[in-house]
Amino acid sequence: MPYNASVVKLPKSQLMKRVHLFEFMDLPWYPHLFRHIQTDYLQFVTTLGAGHQNLVPLFAKALHHAGTTEIVDLCSGGTGPWIHLQEYFKEADLCINIKLTDKYPSPEAVQMWSNTARQGIEYLSEPVDATDVPGHLKGMRTLFEGFHHFKPEQARSILRDAVEKRVAIGIFEASLKPPLGPILLLLAPITTFMSYLFLTPFIKPRTLSRFLWTYLIPIVPLATCWDGVISLLRVYSPQALQELTAPLQREDYVWEIGQASTETPLFVFTYLVGYPV
């Protein structure tokens, strides 16, 4: 359930306790081929996830208050959960148009889906920096599994820009769920590496380079193992999100922070949703 960020007493700075080590996907010199293989794997794993339908009420409320039917997704990677989310929107009678963007865009990712599945979803080929969203991109801004890539000062500037431009914004990240979550963190390198070996034959397109850098010289699986652990460590907790939004409190803008079920015993969706009123 959401709670009012302005009334919860914060412990001493959660942002100061946050770990922010590098991820290979964040590095500009990381080879495009490796990035593409890793993005395809992450996208495939995302399609196996569950619980995204539990986020639809949050979207409905934010879109209604913002007066828009447009979504601009930032840090989209390989399209994220949007193919499934679009179906949930339709079931809820929400007619939403979605623009996917990324600093390192992969518009070919959405082409792998059928014309019916990607109806209302467009992947922009132009690079879009989440810290500097172009003015012509209108609608509710969203980040799925992308907010942890930004340090606190960058993260707050992303939120501040949404407030100042009076647009809705939604931050959604899978967080470890006690008591099994911490155990998963310890096992994450092993489970990630093994899942890479098992799932790669099912990931399209099946290319020689994908098999080469996965099985013969497993650089990409190893890089993903590192990125996966660091991602889990860098996720902003609800308390840290409160701290980020504390200086951005306004009477005409609402922040909701909370957690939603992923329908698994290992993860929950930690979310931050803001919208003008």
**What is the pLDDT confidence band of residue 116, given thresholds at 50, 70 and 90?**
low
Q: Taking 50 as the threshold, does the pLDDT of residue 5 lie above it?
A: no
Q: Report the C-alpha gap between 254 and 144 in whole angstroms.
A: 20
In a domain, 213, yes or no: no
In a domain, 13, yes or no: yes
pLDDT of residue 207: 94
Residue 63 burial class via C-beta count within 10 angstroms: exposed 0-12, middle 13-18, buried 19 and up: buried
**What is the pLDDT confidence band of residue 12, given thresholds at 50, 70 and 90?**
low
> Do the bridges between strand 169-176 and strand 140-144 make them parallel or antiparallel, or are there none, so unpaired?
parallel
Q: Taking 90 as the threshold, does the pLDDT of residue 111 lie above it?
A: no
Q: How many domains does the chain have?
A: 1
Give me the CATH number covering residue 47. 3.40.50.150
Q: Report the C-alpha gap between 238 and 244 in whole angstroms.
A: 10
pLDDT of residue 7: 38
CB atoms within 10 A of CB 112: 16
The overall average pLDDT reported for the chain is 89
pLDDT of residue 194: 96
pLDDT of residue 163: 96
Q: Report the C-alpha gap between 269 and 133 in whole angstroms.
A: 25
Return the higher-pLDDT residue of 172 and 15: 172
**Half-sphere exposure (CA, 13 Å, Cβ side) for 135?**
2
Going from the C-alpha of 256 to that of each of 42, 106, 141, 189, 259, the distances in angstroms are 28, 31, 15, 33, 10
**What is the pLDDT confidence band of residue 15, given thresholds at 50, 70 and 90?**
confident
In a domain, 208, yes or no: no
In a domain, 188, yes or no: no
Phi, psi of 200 (to 5 degrees): -50, -40
pLDDT digits 0-9 by tens, 179-221: 888 888 899 999 999 999 999 999 988 999 999 999 999 999 9
pLDDT digits 0-9 by tens, 216-241: 999 999 999 999 999 999 999 999 99
CB atoms within 10 A of CB 75: 23
Q: Taking 60 as the threshold, does the pLDDT of residue 11 lie above it?
A: no
In a domain, 51, yes or no: yes
Residue 248 burial class via C-beta count within 10 angstroms: exposed 0-12, middle 13-18, buried 19 and up: middle
In a domain, 72, yes or no: yes
The proportion of the chain whose per-residue pLDDT surpasses 90, expressed as a percent, equals 70
**What is the pLDDT confidence band of residue 48, given thresholds at 50, 70 and 90?**
confident
Return the higher-pLDDT residue of 114 and 160: 160
Q: Give residue 69's domain range.
A: 3-179+227-276
Candidates 23, 71, 50, 31; CA nearest to 168 is 71
Q: What is the CA radius of gyration of the chain?
A: 18
pLDDT of residue 182: 81
In a domain, 195, yes or no: no
In a domain, 216, yes or no: no
- The edge-to-edge listing of strands for the beta sheet with 140-144 is 3-4, 253-261, 267-276, 169-176, 140-144, 70-74, 97-100, 121-123
Q: Report the C-alpha gap between 263 and 51 in whole angstroms.
A: 5
pTM, 2 dp: 0.87
Candidates 49, 165, 154; CA nearest to 103 is 154
The proportion of the chain whose per-residue pLDDT surpasses 70, expressed as a percent, equals 93
